[in-house]
Amino acid sequence: MCDTKVAKWEDKVRKVIPYTPGEQPKCSKMIKLNTNENPYPPSKAVEKALQEFQIDSLRLYPDPTISNLTEVLAEYYGLKKENVFVGVGSDDVLANAFLTFFNSDKPILFPDITYSFYDVWADLYKIPYKVQPLDENFSLVKEDYLQENGGIIFPNPNAPTGVLQDISFIEDIVKANQDVIVIVDEAYIDFGGKSCLPLIEKYDNLLVVQTFSKSRSMAGMRIGFAMGNEKLISYLNDVKYSINSYTMNQTSIVLGVENVKDDIYFKETVNKIIATRERSKKQLKELGFSFPDSYSNFIFATHKTCPAQELFEALKRENIYVRYFKKDRISNYLRISIGTDEEMDALFAFLQVFLKKYNN
């Protein structure tokens, strides 16, 4: 029998409050709008590559350099392969970047309303940090990032708000902080924003991170990548190879390559999501919602009279899943991922009925 008292070895355990991922319900019939996944499947080129995949190759270790995928990404974005780092989802890339670049006694800076993994990594790696409040419109306040710091990270567009900062705004922050690394997390950039990737040619302290999980319909394959100058990427690889050389499985590498090659399908899918998002904005406004303008594949909305938590629970009872954050400043907002037109129509049909008592 174990003693119920706290064991002495527990004093040496690294204790953190973990990141809470979005719910992954197991319902057979549901509308899943809570984790910003792409509602459309990967392209036929990806499907064909999966069908032709040589199962015998799984007995071998994958290429530790992930060279095929690194090279096709470099070509797609007009870079050299030495400018690209590939990891197991952007979470893996960002975790490696935190461990590699945020190694100072000074606090790193990130927004108070943002991707909630940032403070988890900071706590895990014992990195001091200071959150900077977004303004009343959920926008970054540039001056907050001009103070002394040990590094900076923020998403653009931001999550969960969907607010986009323009390139000149970002450049001002990068230019003013050339003694530290600035990481711009562009998980949602393909949905209407302009990437700050061109700035890596001017600033050797900028790392741009993107993912296959949103616009590229491959959240289940876990592929993320970072782009920056050769020295930054070299440092990232040194850390990666010090933890696990064989990070990405063979299937992800093969399918990821075909995904990047099928640019026509990629752009068609993104444009469909953008069109549905813009239509959804109009529908939500008519139903009494307000929200910051979104350049992502979700809308961060609050209703003028119906409490967000009540609406979240009502939707869940109908097997319609959205994301609710019970946190300061955003506890009356719902993050609604953009689904297919049919899924969004079903959402609006329910809302029209449910909200009648609040809109009268």
Q: Which amino acid is at 183?
A: I
Contact 314/354 with Cβ under 8 angstroms?
A: yes
Residues 164, 283: one domain?
Answer: no
pLDDT for 4 equals: 59
Report helix, strand or coil for 153: strand
Backbone angles phi, psi at 358, to 5 degrees: -95, -25
Residues 163, 189: one domain?
Answer: yes
pLDDT for 27 equals: 81
Residues 238, 131: one domain?
Answer: yes
Expressed as residue numbers, the domain containing 341 is 8-41+264-359
pLDDT in tens, 8-47: 898 888 888 898 888 888 887 899 999 999 999 999 999 9
Residues 174, 31: one domain?
Answer: no
Contact 206/184 with Cβ under 8 angstroms?
A: yes
Domain count, the chain: 2
pLDDT in tens, 156-211: 999 999 999 999 999 999 999 999 999 999 999 999 999 999 999 999 999 999 99
- DSSP letter assigned to residue 56: G
Give the whole-angstrom CA distance, residue 196 versus residue 166.
Answer: 9
Q: What is the mean pLDDT of the chain?
A: 95
- DSSP letter assigned to residue 169: H
Residues 231, 304: one domain?
Answer: no
pLDDT for 1 equals: 44
Q: What are the DSSP calls for 338-358, one per residue?
A: ---HHHHHHHHHHHHHHTHHH
